[in-house]
Amino acid sequence: MVVVTGIGWITKKDYGCVIQGLQQNYYNTSLLNTRFNHDSLFLYPIKNFGRFDNSSKMACCAGALALCDAGILYSEHRKQNIGIIGTNIAGSLPSDVYYFKDYVESGRKLARGSIFIYTLPSSPLAEMAISFRFQGPLVYMTFPQKQISSLLRCAERMILRQETSMMLAVKVDEEEGICFVLSREEDASSRRVFSLKDVMAITQKVFSLNEMIGEFVKATP
């Protein structure tokens, strides 16, 4: 049986961990790295965080919060077979537009390579994998409806097929993100876990992130 052992989330103004009951406000995305390092939400400084596009920043922050919520440690000196699966609505369109504008403004001859890195929808997931030293499966998927519940179902199937023992499932865009840690119940390091069925039911019932977090908090085991 697959369970959800941690849920982390971040919006334009606050972030938190569901099971641990953490919620903090912030006022400037550029200060997130400093805040997360100071509060040990990042277990070590993430290289080039300031260069990331907003989706990658949201993804890494949501992922770190979810791992913290689940009590999962990661190390810059140790790789782990943990997978990441992600989705969103717009893909990498905002970063693609930003890159093309930079290309036009440069006379259609050259654009910054540091911007080009983020013109794939899988780029935020790749930055998560690099930052946390995860080397499990990495997949970006889109769904016509029920995005989060469909994402969680795919993550569950990957674990049941023994592609990896743990998955991070993340829905993220330029302004907000939510990340779930999934593992087999017998492998769960956290004593407090959500049933996957209950989490999926909530994600299908409400659609805004704030409402969803409120429902998760009320259902916290």
Report pLDDT digits (tens) over 165-187.
Answer: 999 999 999 999 999 999 998 88
Bridge partners (DSSP) listed for residue 170: 86, 179
Any idea where the domains of the chain sit in the sequence? 2-219
Q: How far apart are CA 99 and CA 63, in angstroms?
A: 25
Domain 2-219 belongs to what topology? Peroxisomal Thiolase; Chain A, domain 1 (3.40.47)
Which residue, among 85, 50, 49, has the nearest Cα to 66 in the 3D structure?
85
pLDDT in tens, the chain (221 residues): 999 999 999 999 999 999 999 999 998 888 899 999 999 999 999 999 989 999 999 999 999 999 999 999 999 999 999 999 999 987 777 777 766 777 677 665 565 656 767 778 999 999 999 999 999 999 999 998 899 999 999 999 999 999 999 999 999 999 999 999 999 988 886 678 999 999 999 999 888 999 999 999 999 98
Residue 194's contacts (CB-CB under 8 Å, 6 or more residues apart) are 3, 4, 5, 7, 19, 216, 219, 220, 221
